[in-house]
Structure 1
């Protein structure tokens, strides 16, 4: 069975975003490298050398959140869109609220945390870095 790890792309904000995500989820980066660490990075501007080539933050024993910054001089263009959400399955209502409040700080709330007609406690938002999240707690009564 394959394991799925969300991979995010940023336009120069990967480090800021992942420091924020680390403050919410805890833990430490298992990998962090800058574009300047790559072969032939001497062709990049100083600003691009400082961009994140790859960062990995374990969320739990099964999931690693990963990302990189795009490199404009290589023709990379980031288009923030609504084609992806990261869905977090919380362990409790309290955990759901903690994740929702921490990650949505400075972002745009799409749907506040609330009990839904299908029986779950759910909310969604776009964080201040343009990443869309869903937080869900499945009530088992």
Structure 2
């Protein structure tokens, strides 16, 4: 069996969220699809809706992990704390170690995340940092050897 898993985020305005992740997280491979008129009817959007501002499907990469997103069409969003996103990188790969440190520095100096645990060495031999973005999503940056 082959399988892939993606975190799929819902936002009030996914277009703005994607721009935020590009600016603050350095997101790459960004894409965004707006609905056409027929799709807008299926989504029960108002006839005068500006379809260019609506995101039916979008996505981006952060540190080699792929994320997808869309505007929330199912009603009001509730921020919860039951899920965290972990970006796990191999400490045996110099490029990954460097990318993780640069990523953490980038989000830290942005002032647009709330750091709850600085990115530091941990007792198990890896490094971990935890922060929450402006959408209430908790991110864990983890670097440890993948093969011991």
TM-score range, shorter chain: 0.7 to 0.9
In the alignment, what sits opposite 1:120?
Answer: 126
Unpaired segments of 5 or more residues in structure 1?
none
CA displacement 1:17-55 (0-9 Å, x = unmatched): 2123234345332x4122455241674265674232110
- 1:117 positional shift: 0.9
Specify the alignment match of 1:28 in structure 2. 29
CA distance in 2, matches of 1:45, 1:116: 54
Matches within 5 A, 1:11-90: 11-12=12-13, 14-23=14-23, 24-29=25-30, 31-35=31-35, 38-40=39-41, 43-44=45-46, 46=48, 49=51, 50-59=53-62, 63-71=65-73, 76-90=75-89
Cα deviation, residue 97, structure 1 = 2.2
For 2:141 and 2:128, the matched residues in 1 are separated by: 6
> Number of matched residues?
134
Q: 5+ unaligned residues in a row in structure 2: which ranges?
A: 90-95
8 Å CA contact 1:8–1:67 kept in 2: the answer is: yes
Normalising by structure 2, what TM-score?
0.73
TM-score, with length taken from structure 1 = 0.76
- Whole-angstrom CA distance in 1 between matches of 2:87 and 2:80: 19
Label 1:102 to 1:15 Cα distance change in 2 as closer, same or farther (>3 A): farther
Shift of residue 16, structure 1, vs aligned partner? 1.9
TM-fit CA distance, 1:80: 1.0
RMSD: 2.8
For the residues of structure 1 that align with 2:49 and 2:115, how far apart are their CA atoms?
32
Distance 1:43 1:19, change over 3 A: closer
